[in-house]
Structure 1
């Protein structure tokens, strides 16, 4: 834990930090969520032209009209000085929907339960890639696992990974259990590395509650996916480059350059995420900044990195310039949840974690100290 911030005081503070971190990271990356256009080099050129390197806050307003033309349409609500509550985004919608899933169906939910809630609560046009393919398959009467495999070329893209956070938050210190929940959700729409990405993210967040350092959390998360998978090999590659002393930019360029699949695929995005966490070194601001500057699916990677860093920092210690503009408010396309308070979502998540968590792995601090 960076000496810049005091240690969080308990489980509720950590889970609240995870929610705030996820939303802040998503907002940070949202304006430049177009990996084919917003490469790592172009992002840094944008920031440099605005006098915003090193990045320590939300993105500044663009200084170059050419940049304005290729930002996401929502950018005006996501840049510093203009933020009043969170923007709506699928990276947050699925987190809200995952919470509702656990509240309404319990920890024993089925993959069919996930699909039923999508049809009941999530507008079709607010789904994308693998999720839209699975949604269409559900509406046409298919059942899992066919919902993931029929006419779905996006099976290993990042969609399942972005749905995984809540499973980590409700299983603090238990990455194996978190990964099992995430897998049950992920197989509705994904296969292979797409499913492994969700398991990895859920386990990483669960381990973040109790791991001595973020590298230990990454090691725990690797333990829930096949060591021979492309995802595991890529994460280990980033870890080895970091350990060898390569700088952050060269590590990102090397690892993403070695990863095929495109800018929304799970594997290269896991490289960006892993580098952001390692080189961020348990500093919330640095972790978010490096992850989003890494490019590819910037809002999704920023959200997951923010979730991990928020859990490790805790809500009380998060810098005010990240959390205050969110105004404790979530915009969501999930039916019945638009305008809900972030603090209320965190409180509901804490109740689930108290009711469902088990002791953490040997060698990690007891969760008794987190339940205060």
Structure 2
């Protein structure tokens, strides 16, 4: 059953706010080869910020300051004034524009055309940059994903998927189908499954009774034998045994060792653990997910989106919402400075037409 009326509007706004707040939370430590779980927690202890209940604190010493991403000054508590630009939010905006422009019957080729028209090349990374280059050189999907692209199973397609969940509330298979059509422009295998899973997870969050139920529904849209599905089930099974969050992540990190810190598989494990151990509480969910390390801003964004949909915008604590000042910085041409509330309203209009 799909939420209707003001409930749908509150859930969608919660998704947008959660995605942006989670992204901002993780942005300063988005360097998984340096900012391990242990280093992030040491940083927080030095700043007397454990348990983490707000945006990251300013660094307590010069060493930490130099190790943070340069955008940290716009993302730490007390310094947030609207969201800083990030691809994790750019792709949500671009996905919204895609659906407004071409409708739910869009083609993968139309996704590529919109990238060339609206997205600056230097604001793309890894698989997206490879696909963009291939598009500019005249290649068509699926070659755009496979030619000279070593990043086909990295997390890029997953971060583009939320809008397909927001616009297909309570319809995870439909959301996954839309996300797949988008993802195959740049990804293959588990990279595509990651997008389908994330879209289904966001969609299921509108109607699921619990986080666990949403995670289980999302698993039904990807092959059960895929490495992604096996990894998500592994995290869920460890959680069910009562194992502590950090022990679960240590166990799964050993089992996924060798994968790059931007690969879909280890990041899906961190994200799943954050959601399950966060248990529907917005602050705990985004805090645990970012403390899990790896691609912190992408994982924080997706966790925030799912948690925001589950609880709705009204239930997200003001300390996460107010500093965003209802404003988004974006590299997508024509959208810089757009209001978060406007993006949510436009998303709700699409969700209502899809019902």
Cα distance in 2, alignment partners of residues 314 and 169 from structure 1? 12
2:350 pairs with 1:352: yes
In structure 2, what is the Cα distance between the partners aligned to 1:328 and 1:257? 40
Give a deviation string over 1:19-42, Cα, whole Å, max 9, x none.
000000000000000000000000
Q: Distance in 1 between matches of 2:150 and 2:254?
A: 22
1:123 counterpart = 2:116: no
Partner of 1:180: 177
State the partner residue of 2:261.
263
Task: Write the mapping of 1:129-278 to structure 2, written as runs, cut at 5 A.
Answer: 129-259=126-256, 260-278=258-276
Distance 1:132 1:282 in 2: 35
Q: Which structure 1 residue ranges, 4+ long, deviate > 6 Å from structure 2?
A: none
Structure 2: distance between partners of 1:43 and 1:257: 19
Q: CA separation in 2, counterparts of 1:255 and 1:26?
A: 23
Find out whether 1:301 has 2:325 as its counterpart: no
**Structure 1 residue 257: Cα displacement:** 2.0
Q: How far apart in 1 are the matches of 2:237 and 2:244?
A: 12
Match 1:21 to one of 7, 18, 24: 18
| Match of residue 332 from structure 2 | 334
Q: Secondary structure at the match of 1:160?
A: helix
| Cα-to-partner distance string for 1:150-193 (whole Å, 9 max, x where unaligned) | 00000000000000000000000000000000000000000000
Q: Give deviations 1:61-108, integer Å, cap 9, x for gaps.
A: 000211111100000000000000000000000000000000000000
**How many angstroms does 1:295 deviate by?**
0.1
C-alpha distance after superposition, 1:200-249 (max 9, x if no partner): 00000000000010100000100000000000000000000000110000
Which residue of structure 2 aligns with residue 112 of structure 1? 109
Any idea what the Cα deviations from partners look like across 1:40-64, whole Å, max 9, x if unmatched? 0000000000000000000000002
Correspondence for 1:44: 41
Name the SS of the counterpart of 2:67 in structure 1. Answer: coil
Unaligned 5+ runs, structure 1: 1-7, 358-372
Task: State the Cα distance separating 1:316 from its structure 2 match.
Answer: 1.2
What is the number of equivalent residue pairs in this alignment? Answer: 350
Structure 2 runs not aligned, ≥5 long:
none
CA distance in 2, matches of 1:261, 1:181: 27
Residue 279 (structure 2) pairs with residue 284 (structure 1): no
Specify the SS of the correspondent of 2:122. helix
* Structure 2 SS opposite 1:285: helix
Residues 92-107 of structure 1 correspond to what in structure 2 (within 5 A)? 92-107=89-104
The CA distance in 2 between the partners of 1:284 and 1:111, in whole Å, is 34
Tell me how far 1:9 sits from its aligned partner.
5.7
Match of 1:11 among 8, 11, 24: 8
- TM-score by length of structure 1 reads 0.93
1:31 aligns with one of 15, 28, 33:
28
| TM-aligned CA deviation for residue 138 of structure 1 | 0.1
TM-score normalised to structure 2 length: 0.98
CA distance in 2, matches of 1:317, 1:241: 29
CA drift of 1:253 comes to 1.3
- Shift of residue 133, structure 1, vs aligned partner: 0.1
| Aligned-partner SS, 1:10 | helix
